[in-house]
Amino acid sequence: MPLSLDLSTVYIIDGFQGNFILMAELFRAIAINSTISDYVANDIYYIFGFLKWLSYFLNDISTIVNNEIMLGNATWKGWLVGYWQRVALNSTWLFGDWRGAWGVAYLWNRGLTCIQPGQFCYSINYGNLTTQEALEMVKWMFNATSEVGRKLSIWYPWS
């Protein structure tokens, strides 16, 4: 396998590893700082309020597309169907194929190959390192969840 292909696989794994480290830091901040976990417990109320508003906004757009375009205007209908078909035509290159030769499937195939014994990512211990970072992230995620969970009944009284 050429070195450049191995290196580009390492860059992709690096991206995921960096994401695990970032999320672990954020969860750690929530878990060890009681002011931040108070804020997160408060935010649950506002996050669902935002979900309501966002869904309402997107639903308005979709309703207009359904009624004014899909049922009314033949030219625009053709464009919208054409966009879906264009996605379908390119879906092999976007999502990948069953052999793992194209798209996102190829990236996962390359990653799995690279961390096998004797391969480049194995020789620099990247399989173990990524797994370690992921497990650390899950640890802090559980700690943060429990810190927020124990504060809900304090911030949301029944009366």
Partner 1 sequence: MPTAAELGNVILQGLAELFRLLRTLFIQLQLVGNNETAINTSRSAYQSFWEIWYQIGAMMHWTVNMLTGKGGYIDIINTNSTLENTFSEVVGIAAKNATWMIGDIEGNNSTTFIIKAMVNALYNPENHVFVANFWNMTTEMIKLVSDALKYFPGYFP
The stretch among 4-12, 20-28, 140-148 that binds partner 1 (CB under 8 A) is 140-148
**Is residue 128 near partner 1 by the rule CB under 8 A?**
yes
Give the residue from 136, 134, 148 showing the smallest Cα distance to 33.
148
Sites for partner 1 among residues 39-98 (CB under 8 A): 42, 44-45, 48-52, 55-56, 58-59, 62-63, 65-66, 70-71, 74, 77-78, 80-82, 84-85, 87-89, 91-92, 94-98
Give the residue from 115, 16, 147, 44 showing the smallest Cα distance to 139.
147
Give the residue from 117, 159, 150, 157 showing the smallest Cα distance to 40.
150
Q: Please provide the DSSP assignment of 14-56 as one string.
A: HHHHHHHHHHHHHHHHHHH-HHHHHHHHHHHHHHHHHHHHHHH
**Shortest Å, Cβ 108 to partner 1:** 4
**Shortest Å, Cβ 114 to partner 1:** 10
Residue in 73, 116, 123, 124 binding partner 1, rule: CB under 8 A? 116
